Structure 1
Amino acid sequence: MTKTYRVTFFVRLGNLFATTMTRLGLRMGPIQLLTVRGRKSGEPRTTPVAVVEQDGERYLVAPYGAVNWVRNLRAAGEAILTRGRSSETIRARELTPQEAAPILKNSLGGGGIFTHGYFNVTSESPLQDFEREAPQHPVFVIQRAFTVA
């Protein structure tokens, strides 16, 4: 059984660190800042996310499930990705479980100990298991809308 995602003190501390370093323009692996309009408040909400690159495409994978940034992105359909002073407006389309399964399978190993407990599959599981797992871990393909500056 997978764990339920809880925002603990250590998660908040890690997000604060990642956000600060990314705002300064320092590379933290695939981490970028995702700013998306809140679905209820309409206010911009920013969170660090990992942008997964695979086969010439870029994806946002939600290892912790349908958390707030996922629900906001579903509602808005677009967001801003930022690292340092570089920002780009993106459009996002949520993938079907069949489309998402290979992305999840290939990206599962990159999350380390932080994400493994949130999946009912391992990187060795067959693709069909990832198709069953995909609804709990939304995947978005992202495309550049235009560069902000």
Structure 2
Amino acid sequence: MARKYRLGVTRKAANAVVKALLERGIPVNGRTGFLLTTRGRKSGVDRTTPVNVIEAGGERWLVSPYGQVGWVHNLRTDPAARLWRGRRRETWEVEEADAATAGPVLRAYVRKIPVTAPFFDAKLTGPPEAFAAEAVRHPVFRLARSRA
């Protein structure tokens, strides 16, 4: 049974440290760490959270390893993902992937960022279909078009 994500005191503190490093342009988790800013779906206020962007199948992807979190709902309402680290800033239109497309991306994500593995029922040694089944719980977004 996969672990449930809980945003407790320790995780909030870790996110604050990671966010501070990324704001200063210091890469975290290799080159995959970015800050994602989305517009709040109800408040309209910008929300920023650390995320990992991975490359798989020649495309760039945002994966929610912890499930249906706030930024997922925000991107579904307004599909503009503003990614940044230090002075490097990019704005992307995102498209949510279907389960068949998301499966290989989720497997690649867990392989590249193994600390997230406990939040998945699928195991790297399992069949590819197991990761496709995880797409309902772990949304995947393709960075589709860059906005200048």
Under TM normalisation by the shorter chain, which class is it?
Answer: over 0.9
Alpha-carbon shift at residue 112 of structure 1 (Å): 2.4
1:7 aligns with 2:1: no
Contact 1:106/1:123 (<8 A) preserved: no
| SS class of match (1:27) | coil
Unaligned runs of 5+ in 1: none
Q: Give 5+ residue unaligned stretches, structure 2.
A: none
Instruction: Please say if 1:138 is aligned against 2:125.
Output: no
Question: Does the 8 A contact of 1:77 with 1:91 survive in 2?
Answer: yes
The percent of aligned pairs where both chains have the same amino acid is: 40
**TM-score normalised by structure 1 residue count:** 0.93
Question: Secondary structure at 2:6's aligned position in 1?
Answer: coil
- The answer to whether the 8 A contact 2:93-2:147 is kept is no
The answer to whether 1:68 aligns with 2:70 is yes
Q: Compute the RMSD of aligned alpha carbons.
A: 1.1
Which structure 2 residues correspond to residues 1-149 of structure 1 after superposition, within 5 A? Answer: 1-28=1-28, 29=30, 30-113=32-115, 115-147=116-148
Matched AA of 2:84:
T
CA distance in 2, matches of 1:54, 1:136: 20
Number of residue equivalences: 146
**Alignment partners' CA distance in 2, 1:40 and 1:87:** 25
SS at match of 1:137: coil
Question: 1:42-66, CA deviations, whole angstroms, 9 ceiling, x for partnerless residues?
Answer: 0000000000112321000111001
Q: How far apart in 2 are the matches of 1:47 and 1:134?
A: 21
Question: Match of 1:123, SS?
Answer: coil
How far apart, in 2, do the equivalents of 1:2 and 1:108 lie?
13
Q: Equivalents in 2 of 1:43, 1:98: separation in Å? A: 33
- Structure 2: how far apart are the matches of 1:56 and 1:128? 21
Distance across 1 between alignment mates of 2:40 and 2:63 = 19
